[in-house]
Structure formats: C-alpha cells, structure tokens
Structure 1
Amino acid sequence: MDTDHDTIPLTTLPTATHPVKILLVDDKEENLVSLASLLSDEGDNTDYLFANSGEEALKLALQEEIALILLDVQMPGMNGYEVARYLRDISKTRDIPIIFVTAIHQQDVHVMEGFEAGAVDFLFKPLHPAITKAKVAAFVRFYLQKKEVELAHKRTQEINRELEERVKARTAELTRVNKDLDNFVYTASHDLKAPINNIEGLAVALKEVLDTPEPDHGELNIIMAMIQDAISRFKHTLMDLTEVAKLQHQDETNIESVRFEELIDDITLNIQDLILKYDATIDTDFSEAPEMVFSRKNLRSIVYNLVSNAIKYSSPERPPIIEVSTYHEGSYTVFRVKDNGLGLKPEDRDKVFDMFKRLHAHVEGTGVGLAIVKRIVENSDGKIECDSEQGKGSEFRVYLRGQ
C-alpha cells in the first residue's frame, strides 16, 4: 500500500470518553505505519490497530470494538474481499463499516465485487490525504453518533425501568393506604357504635329514673357514673383513632440521636403504677446498640407500646419479667422485648398487629397500640417480627433503619 503524503489538515475528529479504534489491514508493515501516520492528529483520541493478514484482522475484529476497518484488497492468502465476507457472516462484526484500500485500477467490476463483499467505500492508491482523512472522519463521526444514540437508548430504558419501579411502589403504597383507610372507616364506625349505644341506653335509663315521682338518688349516681365512664371510653377511642389517622399522612418527623437508656427510664417512670400493680421486673441491656438516630416521638411510641403490653398481658401464674435489649443486625438496629406472659396461639400472631384487634378481652385497651407500632416501623422502611408460645410468653423484634 503506497501513500501520497500531503500537508492538507484533517477535519478534527470527534472524541469520546474511550478512544475510537480503527483497524488497518495490510500485509506490509510499512504501509500500516504510513497510513496511521497520515490519519493521526494530536488529540484525536483514536487508536490504530494493525493486522498483517486477513486471519489476524478477523481475530482483532472479534476481540475489540472497532469503529472502522481500512482493508487492503490485494493480500496473500485471504484477500480483502474474502475477509469482508467473513466479517459480514459474523453477528458481532457485520455492522463494522469497511473501506477498501486498493491499487487496482478503478473499474466497475472491482468496485461491484467490493460492494457485494460488504464495502461501504473505496480509497484508491495513491491516497489523497485530504480525501482519506475526510472519509475516515465521516465514518468516525457516524460511529460516535451511533454510540450516543445507543447510550441515550440505554439511559431511556434505565429511566423507564426506574419509573416502572416507582409506579409499582406507589401503586402498592396507594393500595395499602386504601386498604388501611377502608379498615379504618369500618373499625372506627364499629368501635364507636358500642360506646354510643351504651351512652344512649344509659340516657334512657336516666330519663326513666328522673320520670319517677321520687327519683332514687343512689340509682342516679350509679347511672351518672356509668355515663361518665362510657364518655371517657368514647374519648379514648377518639384519641386512638386520631393517632392512627395522623400516621396515614405522616411523611416527616424530627429526627435526633436517641439513647435507649434515657427513653426506657422516661417510660418506666410514666408507667410506674402499672409496674407496681403487676409487680413487674424490667431487665435492660443496651450495650450493643446504646443509641440510634430516629424520631424520638415515634421511637418512644414503639418502646412504650411494646413494654406496657408485655406487662399488661402477663400471666396470672407468675410475676412478669420483661427483657428489653438492642443490637445491630446488618443495616438495622433491632429493639427486642421478651416477656414470660400469656403468649399467643400460632394463628393469632399475625392478627396481633390488626387495628382494634384484641386477643385478650380481660385487658383494658382499644387494640390500636401494636397497629400504630407496625405503621411507624413500616413507614421508616423497617419490619417487626413476633415469636410467641401460648402460656410461655412472647418476643417482639423491631428492625429499624437509622434516619
């Protein structure tokens, strides 16, 4: 391959993050060096790969990502046309543009054979530097534009996948919220109906006593006390409903570093009457995870509900012993409460987190506490687990991610 050097500058080639690779194929080493020298410009971000035979050219084309091949036609062994046909038969290489470089006189028969073999263009010797550079630059530019389109397509697919995941997550969240709202409306109406009916019945009884010629003040006092108790229960139910409703719309809360020791001290002081009533013992161990960054209000609600429930649902056969501890597991801080209380039947373990579900009717409460705990935990990308055996006790583990 002979080259005719000239001083006409090549149009600046587009550059990419990774060098563009152009494969030069000729059986004569000096022709390869001469052609690479002709094409090279400082800073053009192009690598020129050399192949001295058709076999070597095929090997490099399969190993590398090639933008363009400049292929000599007249080579011993496998000639340029044969190389081009092989490249067209291989899926990885069939789209690489090939420019034939030949000293054969420009005749229609040779040109047609070249295009049939897979050529996209011809360069005839002696090479004109400006034309050679311009043609190579055009194909490199096309290659870079193609890579940009592929990259844009890939990014679009990634964005679409991300959007699909967001839509799925949002749909699941909306489905969950709608289910919770349906449950909330049903349970609220059901739970409010009882105290309203009770107050209504007591009001009727009060009217009957007042309508007598000489009302019995003792009976009046009893009915009034019952009315006050019913109103108090009604107000507590409304407060619990309000707390659950707040959680439906709670997106952000103030977070801070919270020490578990301080939190449990505050809670045990608050439930001192309950501890004394049941003669409860609370053993704590926060050595593995003494603190975490979380909403103090929400963390207090979790700890309060789990510890107070462990005391309230104690066994009448033994004083309650509550073990409270924390530790790390993966990316979670785990808050653990273990008791020796009544425990649960296997079929009741999932029901314990349902709103207004009370599995032990003899204990005062509305059945909202654990539902609130579960909602707080899930809203903070955590989880809660329960192991329990009827007659022996329960263990709750809350897995929380620091915020």
Structure 2
Amino acid sequence: MKTYRILVADDQPGNLDTIIRYLEESSGIYSILNATNGKIACKVAEKKQPDLIIMDWEMPVMSGIEAIRYLKAQDVTKDIPIIMATGVMLSPAHLKVALDAGAIDYIRKPIERTELLARVNSILKLADSYKMIKEQNENIQSTNKRLLELNYEKDQLIHVVAHDLKVPLSHMSSLVHIIDPNADNLTEKQAAFLQMIGQSSDRLIKLINKILDIEAIESKKAKLHMEPVDIRLLLRQVSEEFTHVAIRKNIEIISQIGEGIVWADKTHLTQILENLLSNAVKFSPKNSQVQVHCVAAEGNIRVEVQDQGKGVLPEEMSQLFIKYQKLSTRPTAGEKSTGLGLSIVKQYVEAMQGRVWCESTPKKGAKFIVEFAQHNPAVQSNT
C-alpha cells in the first residue's frame, strides 16, 4: 500500500498535535512531517517533497501565505497541493487571497476530524491523478520529440538519395531520348523496351522533383516570385495539356472559366493546377466528366476541380494532404500514385497565402477548391 508524506505547518502546538493525531489514527498510510513556521515549512518541503502540505495562515517568521507563494515559485515544490488552515481569516476576500497564492483548498479551525480526512483523501486522489497525467504527457512529449527527430532524419535521407539520383537519371533519360526508336537497326521489341526505359526514367525524375519540391518548401528554401497572374489563361493552358490524357479514358474536361487576376507565383500555381487536374483524371472512371470552374468569391479567386470518382471517405479527409499518404480510393485505370501531389498542392497554396480544401460525398466524386487573393495593384504592387 502506498504511503503518503504529509507536512503539517502550525505554530500552535495544540493545533499541530490535533491534526497529526487525526491523520495518524485514520490509517497507516500517512507519514507525518511538521514545522512551526513558514520558513521551516519551506525548507522541509524542498528537502522532503511531501505529497501534501497543510499550512496555517498566521505564523511567525514567515506567514502561511508567504510560504505558499515561495513554494509555488520553486520547481521542486510548485506541484505539491497545499491546504490552507485558518481560524481567523475566514472572509471571502481572505479565502481568495489564499487560493490566488496557490492553495488548492482551505479548512477552518477548530479542525473537525471528518472534514479534515475527507479533504485530505480527496486532494491526495486528485494529486495522484495529476501526477499520472503529467507523467503521461511527459512520455508523449518525449515520444513526439523522438518521432520528430526520426522524421527529420528520414527527410534528410530522402533528400540526399533523391538529389544524388536526379543527375544520373537525367543523363539516362537524355540518352534514351536521343536514340531514335524507329531506327532500322532496332527490332520492334528493342524499340518497345527503349520506350519503356524512357517512360520509367521520366516518371522517376518527376517523382524526385516532387520530393525535392516538398523538401524545399518545408525547409523554407523555396523562393516565390509573386506577381499578377491571369488564372484564366493558365487554366485553359493546363486543361488543354491534360486533354490528351483524359481522352485515353474518354473523359471530357468541361471548363467554365471567368476572368481573374491573382497574386501568385506563376510556376507554383501551374504545378498546383496540374496536380489537381491530374488527380481528377486519375481518379475518375472512364466515360465521365471533370469540371473546372473559376469564379470570383468575396475578393478572392476560387478554382474548383470536380471529378466523378468514388470520392473521399469522411474518416480519410484528415489524411488527404499529408505526404506519402495513399487512401483507400485508388486510380481507376491502374495509374501510379506517389501520395505527394496533394501535399505539394497544400504546401504551395499556403506558401502563397491561399487556401485549399476538399468537399466530397462517397461515391459521388470529390471537389478540390483552391482560393487566392484577387490581384489588387494598390495593395500588392510593393509586396
């Protein structure tokens, strides 16, 4: 059975003896310490660190209030619960002073046995709960710190590997594309293999570039060139580029694009739109539609990309923009998914002070929405 150490501080021997006797007679779980003034109580508390202190208000050398304030200012004693005992300072104003100083409770003199034991038992239970929660929080913080360290190490490793792979892969891709697949000295099978090598190396380079993009954003190394961008022209351009991809699945891209100039980095905005269109086509079934809308909304320009896929499950919404996440909904024609596209979208949108979110009903498709500030020359020309 656990033994609780209780410090009783009172300059009156009769009061001290009464409290100690009540505690010792109640059970064998209390180990009692005593002090006859606030200064001695502080020294004992710092040295012995009791589980509970019962502190008289009026004492010589240092009063109970002064002792409480001192103890609550020390790291080793600040969490020890203190009950203020008083027979004179009984007004609401006095009790407020005690509680503001750091007392957790108070008890009136003359001390009544039942009340004393009830308050002591209750506060010790609360103190045990507090200690348990504090230990759990410390364990969680320690675990989180270690996870952050591991995550940093992982990101560093990925960055180094990606960076070191990019150059040789780029050389390989360039060499492959130099070779004419229709050359007379190549068999049909060799030409097909050559094409596969080219496609695979291109896909790897794109993946590496995405990894490096995310690393640049997260390390705050990405440089933004903010300028007025005609989002109408950009959307039309990106939509046209994805038309040939959509045709393979007989998907129609329907655009309703109003005029709008946004304040953004054109290169990153292009990547955002490309990722959203790529996702919409990738997760839409054959013979369906992808709708692209661009409208003005309360001083902002909003782009909406709606697909007709299976949508996003409610329980997976929180994972949607986390890097390397692959959700239960899969591409409809076996397309590859790295789990990086939406993470890049979110990082770039927020870097340009925009917003991005998703609205989805399972089996009824998903709508991804990005919103940027409309260009205001008077406000943004000097930023």
Answer yes or no: same fold by TM over 0.5.
Answer: no
TM-score by length of 1: 0.42
Give 1 or 2 for the bigger CA radius of gyration. Answer: 1
TM-score by length of 2: 0.44
